[in-house]
Amino acid sequence: MEKMWKGRSEVATDKLADDFNSSIGFDCKLYKQDIEGSVAHAKMLAGCGILTADECAVLVEGLQGILSDIEAGKLAFDPTAEDIHMFVEAVLTERVGDVGKKLHTARSRNDQVATDLRLYLRDESENIVALIRKLLAAIVEQANKTKTYIVPGYTHLQRAQPILFAHHLLAYAMMFIRDAGRINDAVRRMNVSPLGSCALAGTTYDTDRMYTAKLLGFDGYTLNSIDGVSDRDFCVELLSALSLVMTHLSRFAEEIILWSSWEFGFVELDDAYTTGSSIMPQKKNSDMAELVRGKTGRVYGDLIAMLTVLKGLPLAYNKDMQEDKECVFDAFETVAKCLGVFAPMVATMKANKDNMYRAASKGFINATDLADYLVGKGEPFRSAYKVSGKIVAYCIANDKVLEELSLDEFRSFDPLFDEDVYGEISLAACVQKRTSAGGTGIKSVEKQIKFVEEFIK
């Protein structure tokens, strides 16, 4: 494809340099936004009397033809084009003649690419938030099914206190709701139009930036043309929000992998989301969860790559910035795939109530409640804590759990013990009594489910 900037130099660029410089191999993804931006720009030029209405009509029709031909597979991207912007303009001029050459009046590829990328990321962000909603729906579905299942809650990966499995799952729902909020925040800040900033300094033409901003669904336009073309904060913000999505997915993935091991046996993943081993017939591997955990590194890498590209970069546009796209494309694609497979994997996994309960019955996870029982009888917490600790040591030495001790045994540690101790330290009671706001009690769990359901709507 002939260079648009041929006037300045007649020497052909080296083939390797051309390939190295070209971005069409990946920025072709922006074709729709590029054409949308050009249509808005042409309309603005006509509205401001810079183009005639007839010229505008020819340009718009030509651009729409290009769009439908690309989508119908009738127009292939030319790999020798420098980028998507050059490609669309060249095809347009080829098709509509000299008037095509007028489209680039009062604009530059610098404001064009900044506009295209914002439009693209706006749609992609919406898609990610929709996928987060689907995952939240899967979590709620699982939480509703497992509302009465008691499971050990852990600290330091040691059994700590009994909780409802639904409470544990809903902790993830809270994280994903915050993730959606972060993405929406970033989109809100991003949604201003850089179009009309031109190369960096604005233009001598009497343009109307609000006009294009409105046509493209932006809330306004960037107030400083230099910032308009050189800002990629929105990429960093979105990449960082996506990195956190992956952090949360990877923690969830790790737990699902643990839970589905023989050692835990808390959940069984549906066969549709596991693989077998080529050699060990007994294996059922949680590959999807493991891959999600693994892909987290990629997305962090995309964030760091983007930050590093921007570090120390002088104003305004520099070609370094062409490196922005592959980072964000990769991150959005990766996160979309991970969320896409995670939601049905969570919705279809089977929780094993008995195994959970069995695990919760060991490890003295009601020892805190035993201490609280004594506090209820008038013992100060610190001494109650000591007594409870001594009883645990006794149980370990005698291979018993707390509920198995006789009342006499209890009383040998503290005369305040009574028959009602058994009811108070039963796992069900331990959970039910945690009625504090945000605790694992059933009312709190139901409130959380409502909150998440409200968010999904």
Residue 27 binding ligand ARG, by CB under 6 A? yes
- Residue 434 C-alpha from the chain's centroid: 32
| Count of residues engaged in binding ligand ARG, rule: CB under 6 A | 10
Residue 170 near residue 214, CB atoms below 8 Å: no
Nearer to ligand ARG, 306 or 430 (CB): 306
Could you give the 3-state DSSP secondary structure of residue 426? coil
What is the DSSP annotation of 297-324? HHHHHHHHHHHHHHTTPPSS--GGGGGH
Phi/psi of residue 350, each to 5°?
-105, 125
| Binds ligand ARG by CB under 6 A, chosen from 83, 89, 179, 237 | 83
Active site residue 277: yes
Kindly name the residue from 156, 278, 406, 436 that is annotated as catalytic: 156
> Which residues within the stretch 173-192 sit at the binding site for ligand ARG (CB under 6 A)?
none
Active site residue 85: no
- Least distance to ligand ARG, CB of residue 328, Å: 12
Q: What is the dihedral of CA 92, 98, 100, 105, to 10 degrees?
A: 150
- Least distance to ligand ARG, CB of residue 46, Å: 25
Please state the length of the chain.
Answer: 457
Binding mask 97-126 for ligand ARG (x = CB under 6 A): ------------xx--x-------------
Q: Take residue 282 and report the two structure tokens written for it.
A: 């007994």
> Which residues within the stretch 317-376 sit at the binding site for ligand ARG (CB under 6 A)?
317, 319, 321-322
Residue 133 near residue 180, CB atoms below 8 Å: yes
Residue with tokens 């960082």: 240
Kindly name the residue from 197, 243, 248, 277 that is annotated as catalytic: 277
> Which residues within the stretch 303-322 sit at the binding site for ligand ARG (CB under 6 A)?
317, 319, 321-322
Q: Which helix (H) or strand (E) holds 106?
A: none
Nearer to ligand ARG, 226 or 442 (CB): 226
Could you tell me whether strands 267-268 and 158-164 are parallel, antiparallel, or unpaired per DSSP bridges?
unpaired
- Least distance to ligand ARG, CB of residue 3, Å: 12
- Among 436, 442, 433, which residue's Cα sits nearest to residue 369? 433
- Least distance to ligand ARG, CB of residue 316, Å: 10
Contacts with ligand ARG by CB under 6 A lie at 23, 27, 83, 109-110, 113, 317, 319, 321-322
The set of catalytic residues is 156, 277
